[in-house]
């Protein structure tokens, strides 16, 4: 495998991880019969976002880099809120 093929595989892996978050969210929402964002949604968002950011940096695409970096901030912040809420509920 050459370098380009490896980075292409990383890009597709990142896209697969990022897309999996929608499948996870959809299945959980169907089960709950309401719109739900399970914690796995945020983990898939972060994993896919980091992988796609690495790919964007490799490709030196500033638009893609800014988009993924901004998204990662939001995903980490939402994960923080979920974990913080869970800890507060457990403490009660």
> Which two three-digit tokens encode residue 91?
């403490």
Cα of first residue to Cα of last residue in the chain, in angstroms, is: 54
Model pLDDT for residues 6-65, shown as the tens digit of each residue: 999 999 999 999 999 999 999 999 999 999 999 999 999 999 999 999 999 999 999 999
Supply the pTM of this predicted model. Answer: 0.88
Give the start-to-end residue ranges of the domains of the chain: 3-91
CB 60 within 8 A of CB 31: no
């Amino acid at each position: 495998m050459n370098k380009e093929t490896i980075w292409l595989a990383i890009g597709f892996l990142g896209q697969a991880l990022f897309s999996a978050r929608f499948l996870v969210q959809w299945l959980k929402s169907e089960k709950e019969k309401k719109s739900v964002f399970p914690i796995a949604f945020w983990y898939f968002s972060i994993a896919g976002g980091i992988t796609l950011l690495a790919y964007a940096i490799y490709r030196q695409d500033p638009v893609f880099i800014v988009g993924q970096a901004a998204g990662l901030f939001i995903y980490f912040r939402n994960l923080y809120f979920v974990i913080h809420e869970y800890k507060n509920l457990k403490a009660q």
